[in-house]
A and B are shown apart, each in its own frame.
Chain A
């Protein structure tokens, strides 16, 4: 019989942490399913909410930006499609980011009572936002059919940008998740960040609009700029503005932040229970 031996010492993280994480993939699935099935419990409209929110946001944006601010879509692209593409990926990122940031504190009842690799909490928290993302994408397809828009091979890049958005959500969310354990100020800060981000990112416009500004190099340091532009570019057949430089900045920043965040999370996770 194979014996499973564990050594517990201060400051010593599990040697087989990543293997442990993999072994607990079923738990990851179940925690994700929990979040998903709880999401719309005791609501009359249920999953429809996943549709209503992006739809109304899009309608408002279209009204405000095209009718009031007189913004135009890129040539050959209906403006509402452009906006919806931006909203879809941004909402995915922002909810994932919010959920990851709150994942540890929301599961405090588990943290204090049972051991499992703590990274499972942020990992599982993304499931709900991904489901909403799929619904929103479905809405996009319907709208594309309405406008008789046919995408092309650029679609192949969509998963890449979705993955980048998830990684970015982790890169920043994990850091806040750890800080949130000790300082609940984060809970107040997150909605604010998301709100500011909504305007700081090219959602209702493409970054072409600001490409000639002197502060443009700073602007593309926002990792979401490249991801949003890129997602829209691949979804809309390469017809919208997309600056590969901004993507490079996104990948580099996300990568570095992700590594730092995971390191930080691993360093602090054993003390969560003392601070929570």
Chain B
């Protein structure tokens, strides 16, 4: 049974550029807007305005018990969609049918008043989210324990640390008991341990047949929590289906990945009279039907170039840089004498080496180990996605590299009881 049916939803905004004449005087603004206020929305405004579709013709349905991830860039319309489903904004056209009690978490600690105590804010926020006072009272101790703020219950929340504030806010929402839960990015906050606890709590909830809609930029969290996903781009629903498949599409669309560049003839190829680049290629060795590079994926790097010199001692050097331009590493080949022709080099970047992130690759052809003949900056670009197994923590993994060195752990001595 589908609990949410969305049919041809659009949301349209008009951004006024009030440069045009005629709306400059207060009187015009007043008379014009009074006409608008009394229902007559589409009167003739003389302002130039720009149309903007936050959502355009979106249709989908959600079955009971589905956990739906919503992915897409900033401004793709994800939040607009959630706000329409939460009845906060009205669609311009289309209709939504929802069966069941909805709780929306668009923000942690909605309506928290800084002057009120933790206790008072639990009741305030809880009722805003749709809990009755008796429900809140029943869950009160559990909420407090979950947030770990027992000692500060009667302190105004303005004295809370930001961590405590967020924990309290999430704890309240985690104890909601709606049939449909709409969650926007709330996991992006809080410390690692708390994130783990929150996601665990959400997963427990979904096990009991609850429908969840979850917007996040954190693909790992979406993969961990959601069985289905929707991918939005510029207000349109581009793809929907199984999470893994949708995320693969999303990644292939968003990344600026360029794994291959080649040139047929030396005339067109970049370089100079001495050497010219023929082909640069990065070949990921995907495992398990993966279609994107993640931290596990080994990659083979191939480089071919034309040498026009009769005899020269040549070697290749490869720089791998982060998106911010820091060099992660630099490897080179041995220097050897070569005659004219095509020279090829190959190198493997092992799996479990690069951390997740975006990288660029530069190559350099060097003569006599000291003289760079030609450098090709940022010749290839690729993204390494995150992958974790058996780890319920979703913060950014620190470090430039992500090696898996042997690291043993064991009980040295058992305590005597």
The 8 A CB mask of B73-114 against A (1 = contact, 0 = none) is: 000000000011111111111111111111010110011010
How large, as a class, is the contact surface on chain A? 35 or more
* CB-CB nearest in chain A for B14: A274
A75 lies within 8 A of chain B by Cβ: no
Alpha-carbon gap, A121 to B295, bound state (A): 51
Given contacts A34-B120, A38-B116, A114-B111, contact A27 B87 (CB under 8 A): no
- Chain B residues 120 to 138 lying within 8 A of chain A, measured CB to CB, are 120, 123-124, 127-129, 132-133
* CB-CB nearest in chain B for A178: B37
A-B contact count (CB 8 A): 103
B24 lies within 8 A of chain A by Cβ: no
Are B104 and A114 within 8 A (Cβ)? yes
Are B33 and A6 within 8 A (Cβ)? no
How large, as a class, is the contact surface on chain B? 35 or more
Are A273 and B96 within 8 A (Cβ)? no
Are A4 and B89 within 8 A (Cβ)? no
> Which residues in A have their C-beta under 8 angstroms from that of B100?
3-4
> Which residues in B have their C-beta under 8 angstroms from that of A109?
110-111
B24 to chain A, nearest CB (A): 16
Contact of A114 among B98, B99, B110 (CB under 8 A): B110
Alpha-carbon gap, A84 to B370, bound state (A): 97
B406 lies within 8 A of chain A by Cβ: no
> Which residues in A have their C-beta under 8 angstroms from that of B38?
264
Are B95 and A8 within 8 A (Cβ)? yes
Alpha-carbon gap, A271 to B33, bound state (A): 14
The 8 A CB mask of A1-22 against B (1 = contact, 0 = none) is: 0011111111100100000000
Alpha-carbon gap, A26 to B126, bound state (A): 11
A232 to chain B, nearest CB (A): 36
Are B106 and A113 within 8 A (Cβ)? yes
> Which residues in B have their C-beta under 8 angstroms from that of A273?
83, 88-89
The 8 A CB mask of A150-182 against B (1 = contact, 0 = none) is: 000000000000000000000000000011001
Alpha-carbon gap, A85 to B90, bound state (A): 46
Are B124 and A114 within 8 A (Cβ)? no
- Chain B residues 27 to 41 lying within 8 A of chain A, measured CB to CB, are 33, 37-39
Are B90 and A114 within 8 A (Cβ)? no
Contact of B110 among A27, A37, A110, A271 (CB under 8 A): A110
A199 lies within 8 A of chain B by Cβ: no
Alpha-carbon gap, A7 to B92, bound state (A): 14
Closest 10 CB pairs of A and B: A115-B87, A8-B96, A41-B115, A270-B90, A27-B127, A6-B98, A9-B95, A113-B110, A30-B127, A38-B115
Further contacts, 10 of them, CB under 8 A, given A267-B39, A270-B89: A3-B100, A4-B99, A8-B91, A8-B96, A11-B90, A37-B116, A38-B115, A110-B110, A113-B106, A113-B110
Chain B residues proximal to chain A, CB less than 8 Å: 13, 33, 37-39, 83-102, 104, 106-107, 110-111, 113, 115-116, 120, 123-124, 127-129, 132-133, 156
Chain A residues proximal to chain B, CB less than 8 Å: 3-11, 14, 26-27, 30-31, 33-34, 37-38, 41-42, 109-116, 178-179, 182-183, 264, 267-268, 270-271, 273-274
